[in-house]
Amino acid sequence: MSEETTTVEKVRGEHCLNVYVSYELKDRLKQLAEKYDRTTADMVRAVLRIGIPMMEGLSQAERIMVTEYVELFRKLRKVKTLKEI
């Protein structure tokens, strides 16, 4: 029976996440929850569901911009060295 208890405790704890946020953010989440008659946890879950794809898109765009900037910098450096010759 102790094995079953350990398994259940492990499964319960694996999906939990503790996040420390500012008081202002917490207040905004609470206000949204009250406004739309939801729990604060529901609002946090919704924000994470919406925010994760947005963050992925921003990170991908940032990576592309950095890559293109580095390529442009290399091209400009080659052109500069060719002019010096």
pLDDT of residue 42: 94
Query: Is the pLDDT confidence value at 13 over 90?
Result: no
Cα four-point dihedral sign 63, 66, 68, 74: negative
pLDDT of residue 77: 86
CB 27 within 8 A of CB 36: no
CA dist., res. 29 & res. 26, Å (int): 5
CB 29 within 8 A of CB 40: yes
Q: Please state the rounded mean pLDDT for residues 26-36.
A: 96
CA dist., res. 68 & res. 63, Å (int): 9
Query: Is the pLDDT confidence value at 73 over 80?
Result: yes
More confident residue, 81 or 48: 48
pLDDT of residue 43: 95
22-31 LR contacts (CB < 8 Å, sep 24+):
none
pLDDT of residue 83: 75
pLDDT level of residue 85 (50, 70, 90 thresholds): low
Structure tokens at 70: 């580095």
